[in-house]
Amino acid sequence: MPPDLRFAAERAKGFMPSAEGQALFEIGCAYASLGPLCEIGTYCGKSAIYLGAAARLAGSVLFTVDHHRGSEEIQPGWAHHDPALMDPRVGKMDSLPFFRQTIAAAGLEEQVIAVVGPSATVSRYWNTPLALLFIDGGHSDDPVTRDYEGWSPHILPGGVLIFHDIYPNPADGGQAPYRVYQRALSSGDFVEVRTEGSLRALERQVSPRRTNADS
């Protein structure tokens, strides 16, 4: 990864460990020649730098989708809440200004395109096939399920679906992303191609294998 972008990513607000971010960049580089990339869950743009760097090298773009009002786990009173992101004018979280500053400082404004709105709403009107889909939005069952159901059909054959915060052991973290990840694996449409920490990359099969449920 270009040193300037690695430095920008490591300085940005967010929860992506460096090793997982590097893996995200490498996976992005491997698939970005197929088409555009898409991230669900922008926050302040940390992971968008890793994927945006891959998009720039491949001559592609990254769409990053978020309502920027914060997922459940970063609201006031929760462990990951950052008071600096509160907008006192409306009494709600607003990560959009921080995202814009992060991407501008990284020099990725031409490659990283913000789509501001609820993921489930945007997915209903989305028609562009995707080379890569990274699901890292809300981490409870409902948002993860809706992100998977709404966005995974847009992944091209040979493209890749990436999940973050996959914890097989409940003692390590929440189980909703893990359950949806297992669902994707059992669908017959995807095969796991890489793991790094809590990151899981699943490639969409050109000819999905049949499962017992298909018989």
Q: Which residues are catalytic?
A: 139
Q: Which residues are CB-neighbours of 211 under 8 A, at least 6 positions away?
A: 186, 187, 188
Cβ neighbourhood burial of 15 (10 Å; 0-12, 13-18, 19+): middle
Pairing of strands 190-196, 155-163: unpaired
Q: How far is CA 150 from CA 68, 118, 127, 146, 153, in A?
A: 19, 11, 11, 6, 7
- Sign of the torsion formed by the C-alpha atoms of 176, 184, 46 and 105: negative
Phi-psi region of 78 (alpha: psi -120 to 50; beta: other; left: phi over 0): beta
Other CB atoms within 10 A of residue 20 CB: 19
